[in-house]
Structure 1
Amino acid sequence: MKTKYSIWEVFKFQIKGILEANKSFIFYIFIIYAFSAGILNVVTVLFPRYIIDAIVVQNINDLFLWIFIYGFSILVLMLLSTISQNIFSGNATAIKFLQARIFFKKYRHVSYRYLEDPTFQAKRSTALWASLGNNDSGYEGTLRSLFRLFPQILTVIGLTILLGLFRPIIVIVALLLSLLQYQFDLRGKKYKFEHRDELNELERKANYFFLTGHDFSFGKDIRINQIQEQFFANHKEKSNIFTSLFKKLNVMGFRFSIPGMFFITITNGLTYFLTANAYMSGEISIGEVSSIIWATLAITLGMQRMFTEIAKIKEDTSYTSEYMAFLENDDYFPKREGIEIELETLAIELVNVSFKYPNSDKFALKNISLKINSGDRLALVGINGSGKTTLVKLLCGFYEPTEGTILINGVDIKTIDLEYYRNKLAVIFQDVLVYAASILENIVGLSKDPIEHEKAMQALKLAGLYEKTKSFPKEEHQELLKVINPSGTDFSGGEKQKLSIARALYKEDTSLIILDEPTASLDAIAEKEIYDNFKTLINNRTALIISHRLASTRFCDNIVLFENGEILEYGTHESLMNKEKGTYRSMFLTQGKYYQKGALQNETI
């Protein structure tokens, strides 16, 4: 696995990106801008010489001729450079956004275990935002620096010829001092690059408190629990630390730029001295004095800008190199080419499965052995943190067992194509996510197939959300959330859960359905409707149901009671209730007594 790429490898990567974006014409824009902007700098320095000399000798014809040539040249070159610059600017950003979309597509396949890893998130933030998060740094920054570099090279070449014919020593001094300043620039860029991880991590933490404080979904809790001041204080603390480091980096950058001011003064002083001597000895005209002085200033600044851009390109390609290394990390994006097996029906067997989360020494599951036949309905119960949801994550292929084997229809899950396998799963997660899209798009995605549309509407009916959907002016095309569209609707917790159930019902060609607290946010009537349609919801599929409402287990063939990552009890509802000192029996009776008439009268409140 490669962790660092050379400048030329980064250039090759970016050229590939330009071609993939169908922006090959941008190379011609580079050439047009380089020549128009470069020649413009030379013309601006050279032509005033002839105008001044015409004024001195009072030659009106030559004066108007040179003014016309100078003005026309400036006009044409400025038009070319401005137009090409505008065309390039928009397309450079478009190329970067294409690369961001490529990253987005790749990120969908990141190994799930890293999504909950803060170290990975810090690396992701550094790789992504340092390269793609700014118009003038990283991926796009390299393009823009190259775009600015070529005109400077042409300017320096043209003016070097002009000054070299007059006094070569000026060119030599300017070049040596510019190279010296380049070394200072490199040291400044290196210092900034060495602190990039620390800076990005501080910004990520500060942004968490800033964005969370503005997040609508946290609004009620923040206000009721009066934690606005806490969020403000935390954001202030993190942003102050970030600002302090940012200022320190800027100060260091300024220190490394100071020598350049002295180098320009030295070069200009030498030029003024040699030019004055040449004029007083009659070697050059007053117009040539003007051209030489302006040429010296232009070539000095041009060289410094040229080497500054080169130093910046080196810095930006370092960021893009990190981004490339991140994308090519096989550990983050495992290239798993599994097999496709018959999954019309689905049976599961766990053989001595143990699991602990990354960066943890504690096992969340311990030596689990369990067999679930095709079409079985199994309830997973237990207190919070007992291992139920962890088991679901393993069955969804989000994690691999630390020890033991999970068999799907007798085949090790590690050898099965994950995307193919997940297409056979319908999962209702406890934490329901609603996307800023229409109700229909939240179920079918981008499909425009009328058959899929009808299937989605049927799913909404069975989930109990059809009438609500039809009550909107735009019906199933009503947008959800106000993040993108101000007229979007915010569903209640129960409505979100119904939407999640509709998604599972829509995915009717699946073989395994997993329901993690499917009715937790529903009222009693809505919950009854779901259970009344339970047979339709399951539809002969293998089913796993996680619920703290133990009454829901009556729909299941068997029940597994988890405790501290282990299977404590297993059996049917009747068999577990027959255990006089059984934990399941105790939990069921404890929960059930609150629904019995008069039960609360004997409780001390």
Structure 2
Amino acid sequence: MKKEDAELEDISLSNILRSIQYWPRVFRILWETHKAYLLIIAVINILQGLTPVVALLTTTQLINSVAKSHQQGTFEAIGWAFAIYVVLGLFSQCLALVENYLNPLFERLLTNRINILIMEKSIQLSLSAFEDSDIQDQLQRARQETSYRPYQIFSSIFTLGTSFITLFSTVALIVAWNAWVAVLLILIPVSSFVSFLRLGKEEFILNYKRAPRQREAWYLGFLLTKDSTFKEVKLFQLGTYLKARYEELFQGFYKEDKRLIRKRSLTSVSFEIFYQMVIGAIILLILWTAYVGQLLVGNVVGMIQATNLTHGTSQGIVQGILSLCQHNLYMKNLFAYLDLEQKSVASLPPSSAEFDVSGIESIEFRNVTFQYPGRGVPALRDISFTLRRGETIAIVGKNGSGKTTLLKCITQLYDDFQGDILINGISIRTINIEELRKKIGVVFQDFVHYEMDVRHNIGFGDIDSINQDDELLQAASQAGIQEMVEELPQKLETRLGLWFEEGHQLSGGQWQRIAIARAFMRKADLYILDEPSSYLDPEAEKDVFDKFYNLVKGKLGIFITHRYSSVSFADKIIVMDQGRIVEQGSHRELMKEDGIYAGLYHLQASSFVMNEDENDA
């Protein structure tokens, strides 16, 4: 049985009721959201709980006053009762106005607070954890209800408080007339509690298991609506196919929801018919009691209102408890994500690091092995090499040989490796990682296109210098795009991409140079480029590598490439195959060995010669 299936099997009725354990954490989140709003809303709900009973008593007194005034020939008693009735109505309206003003504001603040908590946890996650599909499902479950579940818990708690105050007050009035009627009115809604609780459990399990398919539906929508995927979807004529798959998923969701809604509706109607029959019998008893002279006319009206109010309030309390338990189950999803085990989070938080690094003088891999979760074959196997200040290393090899994985270990995006990585002779596991990353400038193969202005696209490399135009332009110059930036409509303030208004789209090569400028913006000791020329023409590639070699003089440089024309200038070349280092040395040394590197170099060189011969022919 899968872990999640076992967890779902454990969702018994008693466990649902025990979900009250999350209330302290929920209240803490509510308190941290806005203390003043929370207190004001709480006071309003207490007053609103008392208002219906006071209104009922006032109405009873008003009607009885009319009867007595007619007998006594005076209007004074009616005047006082009427004045209280009007003031109470105005007071209730004022409470409702204040609540209607504060509730939407608090809801927005609360939703934002939950989103911030989810973002903070995501920032803490290691890359290997974030790439785990199970954790992605947890994130989906945490986020899917964020827009309204937390507020529903807040609303349900206060609504329940208001309802309990009203219920106790009306029950006290009815008990004074007939205690058995009060007991019956309270027990009626309880009879439906178990049935609706089972339906709530069924709905939760349905949505829990649906998370992977919901992510797929979101992804299909993304493919059909984003500019980054539009070209291939259009040219390969994928639109109809992807839309059909999306509709298939939706129809599956719809059928599941329809079945559950039908079951809930039938249950509600059945119980409501029964309720109304019992209420009718109680009202008939009230009328009979009045007929035999044991109740005044005003008391008859009051008792009928109290009966209906008790029935409605007790039924609302049962539904409120059911909703709250169901909301708590969804909050369990949120807290499950926020409470991910430490092994899923970057292993050493900055506050617990033993050493800070003022600069990177050397990097040494000692027998490093890394394996992706769920895979039988390690991505890196027994990797050992040393890079010292003033040196540049080129890493080459076939696709899937572990080159990018190695870089992710250096940058501690992957930190659950075996062996050790030493920075200046100190284990990377004891170093403040946040401080270390400030010394690293990196361009990954799948670099980000930030749909923001040029200032942010480059300035994200050193956020503290984002407003230093001279530094931004210097980084742009080092990446060979200063002239391009200065020719843009608003220069550094020009928004890039097409997602937003007045966006300026760049070519693939220009986007790549923007990413390179972002890395060069960092005041780093180590610069890492992962396939930095994949979008560049040969002339632009040579320009980028010339600038890179000039930038890393006296520093440390690592780059990955499949183009061997730029490799020969590196101080050391590492050749990887199936996660291992199979060769390492300078270009001259590896060519003399006549091994894998020499073979790949000659193969690529021969393709250039063949192309030249074909062009000459």
**Residue 490 (structure 1) aligned with residue 490 (structure 2):** no
The answer (yes or no) to whether the contact 1:33–1:81 under 8 Å persists in 2 is no
Write the distance in 2 (CA, Å) between the matches of 1:24 and 1:305: 27
Q: CA deviation at 1:447?
A: 5.0
**Residue 18 (structure 1) aligned with residue 22 (structure 2):** no
| Structure 2 residues not aligned, in runs of 5+ | 1-6, 8-14
**Letter of the structure 2 residue corresponding to residue 17 of structure 1:** I
Q: CA deviation at 1:517?
A: 0.8
Indicate which of 207, 210, 220 corresponds to 2:231.
220
| Residue 464 of structure 1: aligned partner | 480
- Return the structure number with greater helix share: 2
| Residue 357 of structure 1: aligned partner | 372
Write the distance in 1 (CA, Å) between the matches of 2:467 and 2:59: 74
**Residue 512 (structure 1) aligned with residue 526 (structure 2):** yes
The answer (yes or no) to whether the contact 1:353–1:401 under 8 Å persists in 2 is no
The answer (yes or no) to whether the contact 1:593–1:599 under 8 Å persists in 2 is no
| Residue 411 of structure 1: aligned partner | 426
Q: CA deviation at 1:39?
A: 3.4
**Residue 587 (structure 1) aligned with residue 600 (structure 2):** yes
What secondary structure does 2:454 align onto? coil
**Residue 260 (structure 1) aligned with residue 275 (structure 2):** no
Greater Cα shift, 228-237 or 244-253: 244-253
Q: CA deviation at 1:221?
A: 0.9
Q: 1:594 to 1:449 in 2, by over 3 A?
A: closer
TM-score (norm 2): 0.89
Q: CA deviation at 1:210?
A: 1.3
Q: CA deviation at 1:104?
A: 0.9
What secondary structure does 2:359 align onto? coil
What secondary structure does 2:311 align onto? helix
What secondary structure does 2:124 align onto? coil
Write the distance in 2 (CA, Å) between the matches of 1:335 and 1:177: 54
What secondary structure does 2:222 align onto? helix
Q: CA deviation at 1:364?
A: 1.7
Greater Cα shift, 91-100 or 446-455: 446-455
Write the distance in 2 (CA, Å) between the matches of 1:91 and 1:107: 24
Greater Cα shift, 256-265 or 392-401: 256-265
The answer (yes or no) to whether the contact 2:46–2:161 under 8 Å persists in 1 is yes
Indicate which of 532, 554, 565 corresponds to 1:551.
565
**Residue 158 (structure 1) aligned with residue 173 (structure 2):** no
Write the distance in 2 (CA, Å) between the matches of 1:387 and 1:591: 21
Write the distance in 2 (CA, Å) between the matches of 1:572 and 1:545: 14
**Residue 71 (structure 1) aligned with residue 83 (structure 2):** no
The answer (yes or no) to whether the contact 1:92–1:144 under 8 Å persists in 2 is no
| Residue 361 of structure 2: aligned partner | 346
The answer (yes or no) to whether the contact 2:20–2:325 under 8 Å persists in 1 is no
| Residue 570 of structure 1: aligned partner | 584
The answer (yes or no) to whether the contact 2:370–2:417 under 8 Å persists in 1 is yes
Greater Cα shift, 568-577 or 297-306: 568-577
Greater Cα shift, 5-14 or 308-317: 5-14
Write the distance in 2 (CA, Å) between the matches of 1:376 and 1:449: 27
What secondary structure does 1:362 align onto? coil
Q: CA deviation at 1:175?
A: 0.9
Write the distance in 2 (CA, Å) between the matches of 1:38 and 1:164: 19
What secondary structure does 1:550 align onto? coil
Write the distance in 2 (CA, Å) between the matches of 1:449 and 1:356: 37
Q: CA deviation at 1:252?
A: 3.7
The answer (yes or no) to whether the contact 1:163–1:170 under 8 Å persists in 2 is yes
Write the distance in 1 (CA, Å) between the matches of 2:310 and 2:38: 27
| Residue 514 of structure 2: aligned partner | 499
Greater Cα shift, 569-578 or 255-264: 255-264
Greater Cα shift, 244-253 or 48-57: 48-57
The answer (yes or no) to whether the contact 1:184–1:257 under 8 Å persists in 2 is no
**Residue 534 (structure 1) aligned with residue 545 (structure 2):** no
**Letter of the structure 2 residue corresponding to residue 141 of structure 1:** Q
Write the distance in 1 (CA, Å) between the matches of 2:316 and 2:331: 22
Q: CA deviation at 1:379?
A: 0.8
- Counting only pairs closer than 5 Å after superposition, residues 353-502 of structure 1 correspond to structure 2 as 353-400=368-415, 402-445=417-460, 452-483=468-499, 485-502=500-517
Q: CA deviation at 1:51?
A: 4.9
**CA deviation vs aligned residue, 1:446-490 (integer Å, no higher than 9, x gap):** 95758743212210122122222222343212223343x312223
Q: CA deviation at 1:290?
A: 2.4
Greater Cα shift, 254-263 or 55-64: 55-64
For the aligned residues, what is the CA RMSD?
A: 2.7
**Letter of the structure 1 residue corresponding to residue 560 of structure 2:** I
Write the distance in 1 (CA, Å) between the matches of 2:266 and 2:477: 68
Write the distance in 2 (CA, Å) between the matches of 1:120 and 1:29: 36
Q: 1:9 to 1:93 in 2, by over 3 A?
A: farther
**CA deviation vs aligned residue, 1:21-67 (integer Å, no higher than 9, x gap):** 343442232112331x3234235544444555566678594666644
What secondary structure does 2:445 align onto? coil
Q: 1:447 to 1:504 in 2, by over 3 A?
A: closer
**Letter of the structure 2 residue corresponding to residue 496 of structure 1:** W
| Residue 27 of structure 1: aligned partner | 39
**Letter of the structure 2 residue corresponding to residue 469 of structure 1:** V
What secondary structure does 2:233 align onto? helix
What secondary structure does 1:320 align onto? helix
**Letter of the structure 2 residue corresponding to residue 297 of structure 1:** N
Q: 1:199 to 1:247 in 2, by over 3 A?
A: farther
Q: CA deviation at 1:317?
A: 2.2
Q: CA deviation at 1:519?
A: 1.6
| Residue 195 of structure 1: aligned partner | 206
- Counting only pairs closer than 5 Å after superposition, residues 72-91 of structure 1 correspond to structure 2 as 72-91=87-106
Greater Cα shift, 261-270 or 445-454: 445-454
Q: 1:526 to 1:598 in 2, by over 3 A?
A: closer
Write the distance in 2 (CA, Å) between the matches of 1:342 and 1:192: 52
The answer (yes or no) to whether the contact 2:391–2:557 under 8 Å persists in 1 is yes
Write the distance in 2 (CA, Å) between the matches of 1:187 and 1:453: 62
**Letter of the structure 2 residue corresponding to residue 315 of structure 1:** Q
Q: 1:482 to 1:90 in 2, by over 3 A?
A: farther
**Letter of the structure 1 residue corresponding to residue 39 of structure 2:** F
Write the distance in 2 (CA, Å) between the matches of 1:406 and 1:593: 38
Greater Cα shift, 424-433 or 469-478: 469-478
Q: 1:450 to 1:282 in 2, by over 3 A?
A: closer
Q: CA deviation at 1:277?
A: 0.9
**Letter of the structure 1 residue corresponding to residue 204 of structure 2:** F
**Residue 302 (structure 1) aligned with residue 313 (structure 2):** yes
Number of residue pairs matched?
594
**Letter of the structure 2 residue corresponding to residue 565 of structure 1:** G
**Letter of the structure 1 residue corresponding to residue 321 of structure 2:** I
| Residue 3 of structure 2: aligned partner | none
The answer (yes or no) to whether the contact 2:465–2:471 under 8 Å persists in 1 is no
Greater Cα shift, 226-235 or 344-353: 344-353
What is the percent sequence identity of the aligned residues?
25
Indicate which of 102, 118, 121 corresponds to 1:103.
118
Q: CA deviation at 1:278?
A: 0.8
| Residue 246 of structure 1: aligned partner | 257
**Letter of the structure 1 residue corresponding to residue 418 of structure 2:** E
Greater Cα shift, 184-193 or 210-219: 184-193
Write the distance in 2 (CA, Å) between the matches of 1:458 and 1:554: 27
Write the distance in 1 (CA, Å) between the matches of 2:367 and 2:50: 75
Q: CA deviation at 1:119?
A: 1.4
**CA deviation vs aligned residue, 1:223-270 (integer Å, no higher than 9, x gap):** 011111221122122222222222233334334434531442243123
Greater Cα shift, 393-402 or 65-74: 65-74
Q: CA deviation at 1:13?
A: 1.9
The answer (yes or no) to whether the contact 1:110–1:333 under 8 Å persists in 2 is yes
The answer (yes or no) to whether the contact 1:112–1:398 under 8 Å persists in 2 is yes
The answer (yes or no) to whether the contact 2:357–2:432 under 8 Å persists in 1 is no
Write the distance in 1 (CA, Å) between the matches of 2:378 and 2:427: 21
| Residue 280 of structure 1: aligned partner | 291
Write the distance in 2 (CA, Å) between the matches of 1:356 and 1:202: 28
The answer (yes or no) to whether the contact 1:114–1:120 under 8 Å persists in 2 is yes
Q: CA deviation at 1:520?
A: 1.3
**Residue 237 (structure 1) aligned with residue 248 (structure 2):** yes
